[in-house]
Chain A
């Protein structure tokens, strides 16, 4: 099931023709309708996903008054989000961090998935299991663990000071942008590795070795053989890493501290201390639109490179 669980966004198609056969027979239960199996899922999807998303997006077109949100049509929130240097800076920083992290995560994930699938064949299952466990368990725990490791009285500093290598705790670790990026990188690895493992699992090993032995060179065979086949998997891996790092706020809060806010922190703050939901909505939509552009550009680049 590892492969299936991994396939998340890349489920493949098959043309099993029970469509017509069973479809015709279930007409005998007209009360429930032909597609009754899809109803519960669709209902959940609409009520818990599409509708909340629509509400979130529409708040950006209301106005924030002195005491309450004024439900009148307005682009005030977008104007503030796009003109205030503070918010512009936060959005730009977030996109920059997300880009760097996503490129790094996708590269290392690609290498990991490649070696796990084609080189260390004997360890393939174990590595798959490890990645899936990391994917589904311990988000907060991992985050907290990194804080413990990087902190001024944490594992690295405490141990280095205990053996006398340093006298003062290293400050570049916690409450720094480097720390945020390091932790985002580590947290997002399984999200990127999983779709790549799924994408590579359909590629015959011999194909790659043949391409390499024909003198193509390792990198060239990756580019011309593996990348075109696994193109969608690579894009999914990048999209996961980019979207999840651009939308994360817990890392910035626990690892980055007050000086290293990301868009997610500003958005999350509006649901806690302040109530400027229109601003949260506008920032969310602006970031999402930028993410869409970045992912579209990436997909163009992948198509160009992989041929």
Chain B
């Protein structure tokens, strides 16, 4: 018994080490950026000399920042709407297929996740070139939709697969058309996971960088603007911009997950 217990505690120490290591690698870097964004001097090393909001003021006064923020917000809203509705419809539609075809559709719709964004972006750039389409906010949204829809589809598929469809039957038996059964019974019941998936789609859009570099042309989003700045050398304004991206996306994901949990 003693041996078992000591083995358990060695296990726990090792487990704690792994968990702490992973959390540190994931979050320490971004915590540092948030800290330095409030630093009063331009130095990027410890000790921190004092707190100020000067880099946020610098970010606000940065050429093109307001436009970039507007573009990012617009892209996020359109991406959430398009990816949310297409993903929801596909997740419901797949339920009607035979198990074999359903698996095929699921694999296909989730496959973009397993494609490096570089290749998706390069492909889109070639198509735009081929069709002589100008790069704009619309093409940015197209790229973001391609990144976000598979996530929305996958997370809603899991919910729809366990959904009790007898309530739809009941609604149909009470005289609802298939469309009104969908909109008055099914959508409200799927509201929480839908809101959550849509918020994650918006976060993905705000965060998206690689595909955007191939589709944005002269239209800047906050990440492309940030990248342009950080390539020019050490500029603490980037810390403030990075913190803004981080807070908006992190908050969207967190609220999305929390809202889905509170209803279930």
Binding site for B on A (CB under 8 A): 1-5, 7-9, 11-16, 18-19, 21-23, 25-26, 28-29, 34-42, 44-45, 48-49, 51-53, 55-56, 59, 108-109, 111-112, 114-116, 119-120, 123, 127, 129-134, 136-142, 144-149, 151, 153-155, 157-159, 161-162, 185-186, 189-190, 193, 213, 218, 239-240, 243-244, 246-250, 254, 264, 267-268, 271, 277, 280, 284, 288
Contacts and interface: CB of A to CB of B under 8 A. Distances in A.
Interface of B: 4, 7, 11-12, 14-16, 18-19, 21-23, 25-27, 29-30, 32-33, 36, 43-47, 82, 85-87, 89-90, 92-99, 102-103, 105-106, 108-120, 122-127, 130, 142-143, 145-146, 149-151, 153-159, 161-163, 165, 168-169, 172, 178-179, 192-193, 196-197, 200, 203-204, 207-210, 214, 223, 226-227, 230, 234, 238, 242-243, 245-246, 249-250, 252-254, 256-257, 260-261, 264
Contact of A13 (B109, B127, B130, B161): B161
Contacts of B97: 19, 35
B19 A112 contact: yes
Contact of A5 (B12, B99, B196, B223): B196
A159 B46 contact: yes
Given A140-B227, A218-B11, A162 B29 contact: no
B30 A138 contact: yes
A129 B93 contact: no
A155 B32 CA distance: 9
A14 B247 CA distance: 37
B11 to A, nearest CB: 7
B47 A277 contact: no
10 contacts: A5-B154, A29-B178, A42-B90, A49-B146, A52-B126, A116-B19, A136-B249, A137-B245, A155-B44, A240-B113
Contacts of B126: 52, 55-56, 59, 277
Contact of A239 (B82, B114, B214): B114
Contacts, number: 318
A42 B67 CA distance: 33
A185 B29 CA distance: 14
A109 B156 CA distance: 25
Given A37-B89, A213-B4, A243-B116, 8 more contacts: A8-B110, A8-B113, A29-B179, A35-B93, A40-B85, A129-B254, A247-B116, A249-B210
A131 B27 CA distance: 10
Nearest to A134: B26
Nearest to A56: B123
B172 A25 contact: yes
A127 B197 CA distance: 19
Nearest to A36: B93
A25 B260 CA distance: 31
A137 B33 CA distance: 14
A41 B155 contact: no
A130 B26 contact: yes
Nearest to B46: A159
B251 to A, nearest CB: 9
A11 B106 contact: yes
Contacts of A7: 154-155, 158
A136 B15 CA distance: 25
Given A41-B149, A145-B30, A284 B12 contact: no
B212 to A, nearest CB: 10
Contacts of B142: 48
A40 B94 CA distance: 12
A4 B178 contact: no
Given A18-B95, A52-B127, A268-B118, A137 B203 contact: yes
A36 to B, nearest CB: 7
Contacts of A2: 257, 261
Nearest to A44: B86
Contacts of B87: 41
Contacts of B96: 18-19, 22-23, 34-35, 37
Contact of B19 (A13, A25, A120, A142): A120
List 7 A-B pairs, minimum CB-CB distance, nearest first.
Answer: A247-B116, A158-B45, A52-B123, A37-B93, A41-B90, A1-B260, A145-B29
Contacts of A132: 253, 257
Contacts of B230: 144, 147, 254
Contacts of A115: 15-16, 18-19
B174 to A, nearest CB: 13
Nearest to B201: A136
B15 A271 contact: no
A139 B204 CA distance: 10
Among A21, A45, A186, A213, max chain B CB count under 10 A is at: A45
A41 B93 contact: yes
A136 B207 contact: yes
Contact of A248 (B118, B120, B261): B118
Given A18-B169, A138-B207, A1 B242 contact: no
Contacts of A39: 89
Contact of A40 (B23, B86, B113, B114): B86
Among B16, B114, B115, max chain A CB count under 10 A is at: B114
Nearest to B85: A40
B29 A26 contact: no
